[in-house]
């Protein structure tokens, strides 16, 4: 499956993926870096990061491979935004700076290190999400973007090219926002195969299916067993992963999802196939890195092994 998703290596720069990350603020600079770095290590050609000014220099220093645009603003970083009367003008200026890059992009990762600043998260980011939807781009909504979805329940409604990646707590928040009923207990069980397709009515996945149908998006419910569904097709991935849950793994996963989703659609496959492959690769990377580092595992260890895991999946020599 992974061979089919990657297909032939595109020879033109950008063909294998031009991915944008919307996130990065004064408090959080690692998350957008991890997302961008994992895009590139998973095979994308270009990764752009749109962040605030205070996040720009640190992210540039982490890696020269990322194209960093420090054009976003947050009220808690910009004293001039303490006056809300200037917000409409500021929003239009920033929107113009970011939106001119949209036509050339294949996918957008929103939420990694975005933060919860009112101006940035409640006013600017929803407009950027909406524009990505209007232009038919792949969207991966992670972390702080899930908070945006809980506050704006129609923003990605029915958009089948969006992947929402909640952890258990975020899944509960989405459920409360969109279903507004008590969340049933999910009956997890051991699965015989690492990749298992289950019927939508199975008690282990029925809540995920219902939420996916309500949103109209692909739900990637993260856990020891990942549950991935577009409301019709349901796939569980139980590939062994890391025994340690270090910070940054969700950001790495978001980058792999964006890259493989683009490659799947580029090669005329279903987007959900790329999402399932991303789950497999992420878990395998975490497992390999944990075997090397054990308790000392950190997110960069996972990114470091990503090229060899991709090569292994493609049955190639990592040196090629």
Residue ranges of the binding site for ATP: 222-226, 241-250
Supply angle C-alpha 307, 310, 315, rounded to 5. 120
Number of H helices, E strands in the chain: 11, 10
Q: Note the residue count of the chain.
A: 320
Annotated binding-site residues for (6S)-NADPHX read 113, 167-173, 251
In terms of Cα–Cα distance, which of 101, 222, 211, 95 is closest to 156? Answer: 211
> 303 near 252, Cβ under 8 Å?
yes
Annotated binding-site residues read 113, 167-173, 222-226, 241-251
Residue 20, token pair as written in the block:
């944008």
Cβ neighbours of residue 161 closer than 8 Å, sequence gap 6 or more: 136, 137, 138, 139, 271
Using CB atoms within 10 Å of the CB of residue 278, give its burial: 0 to 12 exposed, 13 to 18 middle, 19+ buried.
buried
């Amino acid at each position: 499956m992974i061979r089919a998703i990657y297909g032939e290596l595109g020879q033109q720069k950008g063909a294998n993926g031009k991915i944008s990350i919307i996130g990065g603020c004064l408090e959080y600079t690692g998350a957008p870096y991890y997302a961008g770095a994992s895009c590139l290590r998973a095979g994308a050609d270009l990764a752009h990061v749109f962040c605030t000014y205070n996040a720009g220099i640190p992210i540039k220093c982490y890696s020269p491979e990322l194209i960093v645009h420090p054009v976003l603003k947050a009220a808690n970083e910009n004293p001039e935004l303490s006056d809300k009367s200037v917000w409409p003008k500021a929003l239009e200026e920033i929107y113009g700076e970011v939106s001119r890059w949209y036509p050339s992009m294949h996918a957008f990762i929103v939420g990694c290190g975005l933060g919860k600043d009112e101006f940035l998260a409640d006013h600017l980011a929803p407009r950027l999400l909406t524009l990505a939807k209007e232009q038919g781009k792949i969207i991966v909504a992670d972390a702080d973007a899930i908070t945006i979805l809980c506050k704006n329940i129609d923003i990605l409604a029915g958009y089948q090219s969006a992947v929402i990646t909640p952890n258990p707590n975020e899944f509960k928040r989405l459920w409360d926002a969109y279903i507004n009923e008590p969340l049933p207990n999910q009956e997890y069980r051991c699965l015989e195969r690492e990749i298992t397709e289950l019927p939508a009515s199975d008690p282990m996945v029925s809540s995920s299916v219902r939420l996916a149908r309500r949103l109209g998006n692909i739900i990637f419910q993260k856990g020891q067993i990942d549950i991935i569904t577009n409301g019709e097709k349901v796939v569980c991935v139980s590939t062994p992963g890391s025994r340690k849950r270090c910070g940054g793994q969700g950001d790495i996963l978001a980058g792999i999802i964006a890259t493989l989703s683009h490659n799947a659609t580029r090669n005329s496959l279903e987007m959900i196939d790329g999402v399932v492959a991303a789950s497999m690769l992420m878990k395998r990377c975490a497992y390999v890195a944990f075997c090397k580092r054990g308790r000392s595992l950190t997110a960069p260890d996972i990114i470091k092994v990503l090229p060899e895991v991709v090569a292994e999946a493609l049955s190639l020599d990592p040196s090629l």
